[in-house]
Structure 1
Amino acid sequence: MTAADSEVRHILSLSGGKDSAALAIYLRDRVPDVEYIFHDTDKELPETMDYIARLQAILGKPIIRTTPDKPFEHWLKIYRGMLPSNHRRWCTKMMKLKPFEDYVGDGPVINYVGLRADENRLGYISTKPNIKAVYPFQDDGLVRADIIRILEDSGLGLPPYMDWGRSRSGCYFCFYQQKIEWVRLLETHPEYFKLAQEYEEKTVEFGEQFYWSQNETLRELSRPERVAEIKAHHEAVEAKRKARRRNLPLVQVLAGLEPEDAPHLRDGCLVCSI
C-alpha cells in the first residue's frame, strides 16, 4: 500500500436499516479500518436506536454519531413550514447528507453503499468529487436472501421495527411511509404519531397546509373508520401480491424476493433507508 493509499478513508453510513447493517458486518473483517457512522437526527424510532446499539456490540468498535448543526425545527422554519416530501427532500439534505459531508471533509473517501444486486434504483447520496461510492453487494452478487443470512448468522437479525410492519428506517415522520405504516405507527407509537400530527398542523401558521401523507391530514387518517378502510385496502393488496408470488419463477423465489421488495417500497433516500 502506498502513502497515498493510506490517506484514503473508508466510511459506511448506517441508516438503521437491514442492508447497511448487513454491509457493516460484511465489511468488518474485509475492511478493518472502515469508519461506521450514524446520523442521529433526534427523530429516530427507539427501535432504530436499539438496533444501532446492538450492531455496535457485534462490530466491536464504536459507531460514530453525527448530529445536524441545527435541529429539525430550525430547518422547518427556514423552509417556512413546508414539510419535506419526495419532491422536497430538505430533511435528508440538511440533516443527513450535510452532516455526512461535514464529517468527511475534503480528503479522499471511499463511501460504502448497501445497494443489493437484486435492486435497480438510484438514491440520494453525496456527489462531492472527493467521495467515491462503491457497492460491495452489487459487485459480489449478493441479494436479499444473502443479506438476511448475514444478519441471522451474526445474531443481529432484522430491525425490530419490522416486527410491527414498518418497512424502512428513517425518522418516525418519514414521508415515504405508506398509509398502512402510518396506521401502524399510530397503533404502536401513538406518542410519535401525535408529534408528527402536531408538526403537520403547525404548518398553517405559515399560510399553507402541508401534509405528511399525500393530501390527507394525519388527523383524518387516524379516524377509526379511515383506519379500518386503510387496513382493509392493505389486506386486499397483500392478498393479490401473495397470489402473484405463487407464480414467480423458482430463481426469483430462491433469490428471496418478498413483498417488501415491491417497486413502491424501493423509493427513498439511500442515506436514510438502506
Structure 2
Amino acid sequence: MTDAIRHILSLSGGKDSAALAIYMRDRVPQMEYIFHDTDKELPETLDYLSRLEAILGKPVTTTSTEDNFDHWLTVFGGMLPSNHRRWCTRQLKLEPFERYVGDDPVINYVALRADENRTGYISTKPNIQTVYPFRDDGLGRADVMRILEESGLGLPPYMAWGRTRSGCYFCFYQQKIEWVLLREQHPDLFEQAKAYEEQSLLHGEAFNWNQRESLAELERPERIAEIKAKHAAKQAARRSQRKSLPLVETLGGLVSDDGPDDPEGCLICSI
C-alpha cells in the first residue's frame, strides 16, 4: 500500500461521467481515468472516449483483460445476465475496478447529479472513499450539457439516434424502442444479440433480453410499427405537458415504453 491518496474516475462512455471528467480535469490534475471495456461496447462509445482523451490531455486506462463477456458467459455455463442476476456488472465492472484500486487509499469520483435522487456504486472496501462532485456543487442536467458543449465534446453520438445509455449493446435494461433503433443503426449487433438468445436454448433455458419478448418477435414489421407508434405517442404526450420544453430535455432521454416499473438500469454502466 502507498501512502499517497489516488484519485480515480470511472468512465462509462455516457454523458455524465464524461462531463465530470472535464469538470475535474483542472481541479484534480493527478486524476486517473479508467474504463471497464466489456468487449461488447458500441463503436460510438469507444469513439466518444477517444475524443474525450484528447480533451483531458491524458490517456484513459482500460481495465479489461482477456476475461471478457464471452469468457464469463462460459464460466457461468451459458447463463446470460439479467436484472435478477447481474453477473456482468460484478465481473466486468465492479471487480475490475477493485482490482485496479488494490489496497491503495482511493477517492472514487462518481457522476451523480444534484437533480438525481438515486445512489451510485459504493464500495465496501475501507480504502475507497466515494465522492459526488456534481451533487456537492449543486450541478444538474443543464450544467452537464453546458460543460459538454463548452468543451467541444458534445453528447455521446449514440444519443443522436435515440439510445439513452452507454454499456453493452445488448443491455437488458434497454427500452423496446432502443432495440428497434439498434436494429436500424447496427443490424450486425442486433443479430449478435439475437444469437445469444438462441444459444441460451442450448443450455436448457429460454432467455430473452426483454424478458417477455424475444428479439425475433420484436423485429416483426408489425411489432416494430407498434413500438414506434407507442413511443411517438408518449413523446408527444410528454411535450404537450410542457409549454416551453428546455433544450436539454430534447437532447436526451426517452419516455419509458415499458410502463411505470421500467427500471433505471445499472448506474455504473450508464452514468
TM-score by length of 2: 0.92
Report deviation, 1:68.
4.1
Residue 177 of structure 2 aligns with which residue?
180
Report deviation, 1:25.
0.3
Alignment pair present for 1:104 and 2:101: yes
Alignment pair present for 1:222 and 2:219: yes
The answer as to whether partners of 2:235 and 2:255 remain within 8 angstroms in 1 is no
**Aligned match for 1:260, one of 241, 247, 253:** 253
The answer as to whether partners of 1:180 and 1:231 remain within 8 angstroms in 2 is yes
Q: Summarize deviations over 1:57-112 as a string: whole Å, max 9, x none.
A: 00001111110451212222332332212221110110111111110001110000
The structure that is helix-richer by fraction is 1
Report deviation, 1:266.
7.2
Q: Summarize deviations over 1:141-177 as a string: whole Å, max 9, x none.
A: 0010000000000000000000100001001111111
The one-letter code sitting in structure 2 at the alignment partner of 1:187 is: E
RMSD: 2.0
Deviates more, 1:75-84 or 1:32-41: 75-84
2-structure distance, mates of 1:185, 1:41: 18
Q: Counterpart of 1:245 in 2: which secondary structure?
A: coil
The answer as to whether partners of 1:13 and 1:20 remain within 8 angstroms in 2 is yes
Residue ranges of structure 1 left out of the alignment (5+ in a row): none
The one-letter code sitting in structure 2 at the alignment partner of 1:209 is: A
Question: How many correspondences in the alignment?
Answer: 265
Report deviation, 1:41.
1.1
Alignment pair present for 1:150 and 2:143: no
2-structure distance, mates of 1:271, 1:68: 18
Report deviation, 1:245.
2.7
Residue 129 of structure 1 aligns with which residue?
126
The answer as to whether partners of 1:124 and 1:269 remain within 8 angstroms in 2 is no
Distance 1:261 1:185, change over 3 A: closer
Residue 28 of structure 1 aligns with which residue?
25
**Aligned match for 2:68, one of 45, 66, 71:** 71
Residue 167 of structure 2 aligns with which residue?
170
Residue 243 of structure 1 aligns with which residue?
240
Q: Counterpart of 1:260 in 2: which secondary structure?
A: coil
2-structure distance, mates of 1:143, 1:262: 19
The answer as to whether partners of 1:17 and 1:273 remain within 8 angstroms in 2 is yes
The answer as to whether partners of 1:68 and 1:98 remain within 8 angstroms in 2 is no
The answer as to whether partners of 2:8 and 2:31 remain within 8 angstroms in 1 is yes
2-structure distance, mates of 1:23, 1:261: 22
Deviates more, 1:77-86 or 1:98-107: 77-86
The answer as to whether partners of 2:112 and 2:120 remain within 8 angstroms in 1 is no
Residue ranges of structure 2 left out of the alignment (5+ in a row): none
Q: Counterpart of 2:253 in 1: which secondary structure?
A: helix
Deviates more, 1:211-220 or 1:145-154: 211-220
Q: Summarize deviations over 1:188-231 as a string: whole Å, max 9, x none.
A: 00000000110111001111111111211111111111111110
Q: Counterpart of 2:113 in 1: which secondary structure?
A: coil
Q: Counterpart of 1:168 in 2: which secondary structure?
A: coil
Report deviation, 1:33.
0.4
**Aligned match for 1:51, one of 48, 63, 67:** 48
The one-letter code sitting in structure 2 at the alignment partner of 1:52 is: L
The one-letter code sitting in structure 2 at the alignment partner of 1:260 is: G
2-structure distance, mates of 1:221, 1:80: 26
Q: Counterpart of 2:62 in 1: which secondary structure?
A: strand
Percent of aligned positions that are identical: 67
Q: Counterpart of 2:124 in 1: which secondary structure?
A: coil
Q: Counterpart of 2:40 in 1: which secondary structure?
A: coil
Deviates more, 1:138-147 or 1:232-241: 232-241
Distance 1:270 1:211, change over 3 A: same
